[in-house]
Amino acid sequence: MLSPVDLSLSTILLLLLLISPPLSSRAQSPLPSRSPDEPPTVCIIGSGIGGSSVAHFLRHYSSNPFSIRIFERHGVVGGRMAMVNVSGETFEAGASILHPKNFHAVNYTKLLDLKIKKPSSSESFSLGIWDGKTFVFKTLKGGCKVPFVDKIVSLANSVLMFVRYGFSLLRMESFVESTVDGFLKYYESTESRPVFETVDEMLKWAGLYNLTTRTLQEELIDAGLSPLLLQELVTVITRINYGQSVFISGLAGAVSLAGSGGGLWAIEGGNWQMAAGLISHSDAALHLHEEIESISYLGERYELNSTEGNSYKCEVAVVATPLDELNIQFNPQISIPERKLQHTHATFVRGLLNPAYFGLNAVSEIPELVGTIEDPDLPFSSISVLKQRDEKDATYKIFSRKRMEDTLLDSIFSVRQETIRINWGAYPHYKAPEVFAPFILDGQHLYYVNAFENAASAMETSAVAAENIARLIVSRFFSQEPLISSNLTSDSDGEPVHVDL
């Protein structure tokens, strides 16, 4: 499941939201049946960036009267955008960084009047690539108070990178750039951009589909990258961003590499505020602590039953969460291709690393970001400094594929004052070729935003998928504007592997 498994609730920020009280209270008494002139209801399951974006774009694209309900099983909105509280200070526990070309997120920030936070002191943090015995590559440490010195350090680091990886670095950059350019098509005007009924169509239209049929390794070898760059830097990045190797698809790989470039940003105070703001801005009734257990099609309407014993009737139902580890009962049954989630264990430690673990003499010699190569014996994917209080006191974030046991942590750290563990059902376990679930689950008005997630999982990709789902609903349900449909449509019965839910 997506929920943090062994996370202590008291340490996670309980950022309860004050959202449209009149609507919320009306939500407590589900209406028995709709009279002919009562506006229809769209029910959204999940309050992450996906669900909140569907609500936002529905309001944006439709001027029809309709109500929106959003169901969230947890007591906070945001889903995988969540904060963790480490000795009184909060840090992003899940999705942390945005790309400068994540234009929906950029617009949300403006619309909701949120503040942008740039990562501290440019790109001059030090990176080390750890192979279990030694640092095979290390950059210089910046963070100097004098900006000029910082610039020199960052320049020197570029030189160091170039010496080790050569022109392959430029080839990698151009691979990422051309993928980002394809992705930018999803921001084109709705006059020239079709509404997509399937993920396959959506990816083909932007020229991104082929990248999901081959591994990142295959794509990068064809692009002329050296094996050393693949084994080291590229692997370090895919392990940090997706907890996986270069055998992920080329598209997930490109998104992952884009998330390691310059100009990255975040929302001051937490990315979850995008979801909170969009929900409130779209005047949706938010049902916190309400988990949907079953979705039944009654003809013209869906009946959603929750763990609270409530039953809601909706003309349109939107699933905005990965279905892979859930057991929502669908009547009639739906079938989607099997997909596994990659679990990433995020461990937050306040304390001090032990230089001896890395064969070093002083903590100051340990890079601020320790990345790792692909080796089954390595117990973690990355360790990064989130905050340095002084030489003997810092807060770190560790990503690993398995739980970090105390004995292991005791060897990596010399001091450990506080430890918080979160087990995320983080993102799909990528493979090539990818097979996609349908956006329209039942041929009627049951939609699935996270069908797009095995193209690539990120806040922005969820928003892009959500925008398309909102347009699909407007064109198929409200059918106001005659929208162009790109008729590549294959019916979902043609899909090979299926899992019944």
Ligand X SMILES: *[C@@H]1O[C@H](CO)[C@@H](O)[C@H](O)[C@H]1NC(C)=O
Distance of closest approach, residue 371 Cβ to ligand FAD, in angstroms: 15
Decide whether 30 or 379 has the Cβ nearer to ligand X: 30
Return the ∠ at Cα 82 (arms to 79 and 87), rounded to 5°: 155
CB 430 within 8 A of CB 211: no
* Binding partner of 46, given ligand X, ligand FAD, none, CB within 5-8 angstroms per partner class: ligand FAD
The amino acid present at 93, given as its one-letter code, is A
Q: Give the sign of the dihedral formed by CA 26, CA 32, CA 33, CA 37.
A: negative
The amino acid present at 168, given as its one-letter code, is S
Distance of closest approach, residue 100 Cβ to ligand X, in angstroms: 13
Helix/strand/coil for 70: strand
Q: Which residues contact 202 (CB under 8 A, 6 or more apart)?
A: 196, 452, 468
* Binding partner of 81, given ligand FAD, ligand X, none, CB within 5-8 angstroms per partner class: ligand FAD
Return the number of other C-beta atoms located less than 10 Å from residue 139's C-beta.
Answer: 24
Decide whether 38 or 188 has the Cβ nearer to ligand X: 188
Distance of closest approach, residue 297 Cβ to ligand X, in angstroms: 11
Q: Does 475 contact ligand FAD by CB under 6 A?
A: no
How far, in Å, are 4, 85, 349, 444 from residue 422 at the CA level?
5, 12, 12, 37
Return the ∠ at Cα 168 (arms to 162 and 173), rounded to 5°: 95
Decide whether 225 or 466 has the Cβ nearer to ligand FAD: 466
How far, in Å, are 258, 331, 478, 496 from residue 308 at the CA level?
42, 19, 30, 37
CB 236 within 8 A of CB 129: yes
| Helix or strand holding residue 138 (H, E) | strand 135-138
Decide whether 204 or 401 has the Cβ nearer to ligand X: 204
Binding pattern to ligand FAD, positions 61-90, x when CB under 6 A? ----------xxxx----xxx---------
Decide whether 276 or 353 has the Cβ nearer to ligand FAD: 276
* Binding partner of 282, given ligand FAD, ligand X, none, CB within 5-8 angstroms per partner class: none
Decide whether 239 or 445 has the Cβ nearer to ligand X: 445
Token pair 């360790």 is found at: 383
Site size with ligand FAD, rule: CB under 6 A: 36
CB 441 within 8 A of CB 319: yes
Decide whether 346 or 420 has the Cβ nearer to ligand FAD: 346
* Binding partner of 321, given ligand X, ligand FAD, none, CB within 5-8 angstroms per partner class: ligand FAD
* Binding partner of 274, given ligand X, ligand FAD, none, CB within 5-8 angstroms per partner class: none
CB 369 within 8 A of CB 126: yes
In the window 412-471, what residues touch ligand FAD (CB under 6 A)? 424, 426-427, 450, 457-460, 462
Q: Would you give the DSSP letter of residue 445? A: S
Distance of closest approach, residue 219 Cβ to ligand X, in angstroms: 11
* Binding partner of 328, given ligand X, ligand FAD, none, CB within 5-8 angstroms per partner class: ligand FAD
* Binding partner of 121, given ligand FAD, ligand X, none, CB within 5-8 angstroms per partner class: none
In the window 315-354, what residues touch ligand FAD (CB under 6 A)? 320-321, 326, 328, 344, 346
Decide whether 206 or 240 has the Cβ nearer to ligand X: 206
Decide whether 151 or 387 has the Cβ nearer to ligand X: 387
Tokens standing for residue 120? 């501290």
DSSP annotation string for 417-444: EEEEEEEEEEEE---SS--PPPSBSSSS
Computed on alpha carbons and rounded to an integer, the radius of gyration of the chain in Å comes to 23
Return the number of other C-beta atoms located less than 10 Å from residue 199's C-beta.
Answer: 24
Binding pattern to ligand FAD, positions 24-53, x when CB under 6 A? ---------------------xxxxxxx--
Instruction: Kindly tell me the number of DSSP H helices and DSSP E strands found in the chain.
Output: 13, 22
Say if strands 83-86 and 89-92 run parallel, antiparallel, or are unpaired: antiparallel
How far, in Å, are 189, 469, 479 from residue 280 at the CA level?
26, 20, 25
Q: Would you give the DSSP letter of residue 478? A: I
* Binding partner of 305, given ligand X, ligand FAD, none, CB within 5-8 angstroms per partner class: ligand X
* Binding partner of 344, given ligand FAD, ligand X, none, CB within 5-8 angstroms per partner class: ligand FAD
Decide whether 25 or 489 has the Cβ nearer to ligand X: 489
Single residue of 41, 62, 67, 96 touching ligand FAD by CB under 6 A: 96
Distance of closest approach, residue 11 Cβ to ligand X, in angstroms: 6
Residues that bind ligand X (CB under 6 A): 10, 13, 85, 88, 90, 103-104, 107, 187, 207, 210, 294, 296, 303, 305, 311, 331, 485, 487
Residues lying near ligand FAD in the complex (CB under 6 A) are found at: 2, 45-51, 71-74, 79-81, 94-97, 291-292, 320-321, 326, 328, 344, 346, 424, 426-427, 450, 457-460, 462
